Amino acid sequence: MGFSVLMSVYQGDDPQHLTEALRSIWDDQSVRPSEIVLVFDGPVPTELERVVDQWKATLGPVLITERFEVNQGLGAALHRGLSLAGNELVARMDADDIASSERFAIQLAMLEEREDIDILGSFVQEISFDGKPLGLRTMPSEHHSIVANLWASPIIHPTVMMRRSRVLSSGNYDPACRRRQDYELWFRCAANGLRFHNLALPLLHYRFGAHTHKKQLPRLALEQALIGYRGAGRLGMPFYQRAACFIPFIRSLLPAQVQHLVYKLLTPMDPRRKSK
């Protein structure tokens, strides 16, 4: 069964991480994609261009590239990329993560067996910026638990393999969302009746650590909170869950290192890790 991988690259990505990401979805995969759609979100440094050129020489027509003249944000890049994808099944992948060698084989088998699943994610192995293991991040597996905790973002975006037609029928990624475009999309998909599932396997090495919180500016965290508040309201979630959407915003007002400490302290209370 043919499938696509959807990626975006921008000027802040690390060339070595991009190399590792592409190697993991091609050289190291037991089942390879029939196409990789990579969107340049604005101009990128020469080193990143060189990495993509080298892979283009290796992959030929498998690697499809699209370019924005100026940076428009990940929502716009993924909106364009999903529109261009030529297969019904599309796997997301970030430019700094590493897929396990069996990721696509496992997800394809699950989606073939379970035609009721539209959006399929997984657990992840968290790694540091330099690749050191940090621990396992789990998520609720079953649809009802995922939707009940959707306000808490229980789908790890780069683990997802989705049915393209169903996601497009829910409106595709919002090109106006520069950040948390997945969070906004999942609420629309849930409201449209799409079904979610997370495999209880770590199918991705996910870069995460103290550096992550440097990117969580208060303005962006407030945008995320408002997306969650409105989306949770649309799904009829109780007020306390809608209010909880503002926790990341409150955390973003703290210094980066304190944000990371608060994140670790709150982790045992994370509802995503308690649900099945």
Residues 6+ apart with CB under 8 A from 182: 155, 157, 160, 173
Residues 6+ apart with CB under 8 A from 56: 63, 65
Is a pLDDT exceeding 50 seen at residue 163?
A: yes
Q: What is the pLDDT of residue 32?
A: 98
Q: What is the pLDDT of residue 210?
A: 46
Domain boundaries, the chain: 4-213
- Cα–Cα distance list, 13 to 80, 93, 178, 207, 255 (Å): 19, 13, 16, 12, 23
Instruction: Give the pLDDT mean for 206-230.
Output: 75
DSSP assignment letter at 259: H
DSSP 3-state of 136: strand
pLDDT tens digits for range 71-125: 999 999 999 999 999 999 999 999 999 999 999 999 999 999 999 999 999 999 9
Q: Could you tell me the pLDDT band of residue 193, with boundaries at 50, 70 and 90? A: very high
DSSP assignment letter at 231: H
What's the mean pLDDT when you consider all of the chain? 91
DSSP 3-state of 125: strand
Instruction: Give the pLDDT mean for 225-240.
Output: 88
- Cα–Cα distance list, 141 to 135, 138, 252 (Å): 18, 9, 28
CATH topology of domain 4-213: Spore Coat Polysaccharide Biosynthesis Protein SpsA; Chain A (3.90.550)
Q: Could you tell me which residue, 260 or 177, shows the higher pLDDT?
A: 177
Q: What is the pLDDT of residue 218?
A: 83
Torsion angle defined by CA atoms of residues 115, 119, 125 and 130, in that order, rounded to the nearest 10 degrees = 130
* Percentage of the chain exceeding pLDDT 70: 89
